[in-house]
Amino acid sequence: RTAALAWFIKTETLTAGFRSLAGPQRATHLQAHRDWVAAHRAAGMAIASGFLVDDQRRPGGGGLLVLQAGSYAEACALIAQDPLIAGGWVDWQLHEWIAAAGDLAL
């Protein structure tokens, strides 16, 4: 990707509505999200998604999405297309990340 692209970090927590879904319903929504990320990766975008766990590796800390985009508005518009966001299944925040040391390649 070109140097003009910036890194963005989206943090999220699952809504009470999502947590109240039956396991198979949750799995369907999570798979749609993973498929969305995979499609963008296949198109050449630097993007990765995952979930946070505690010291016992138990989930519940929320999720994290890292991506490159040309602007905050571009990143926000892209994230709005994520099935978890579009479905209202997560509460989220987006921040541009300005690296101060090291580098990152996805």
- Confidence class for position 33, pLDDT limits 50, 70, 90: very high
Share of the chain above pLDDT 90, in %: 78
pLDDT tens, position by position, 37-71:
999 999 999 999 999 988 999 888 889 999 999 99
* Cβ-contact 96, 37 below 8 angstroms: no
Distance CA 84, CA 26 (A): 10
Tokens for 28, please give them: 């369907």
Inform me whether the pLDDT recorded for 1 exceeds 60.
no
CA–CA dist 8, 12 (Å, integer): 13
CB atoms within 10 A of CB 29: 17
Read off the pTM. 0.86
- DSSP string computed for 57-106: --EEEEEEEEEEESSHHHHHHHHTTSHHHHTT-EEEEEEEE--SSS----
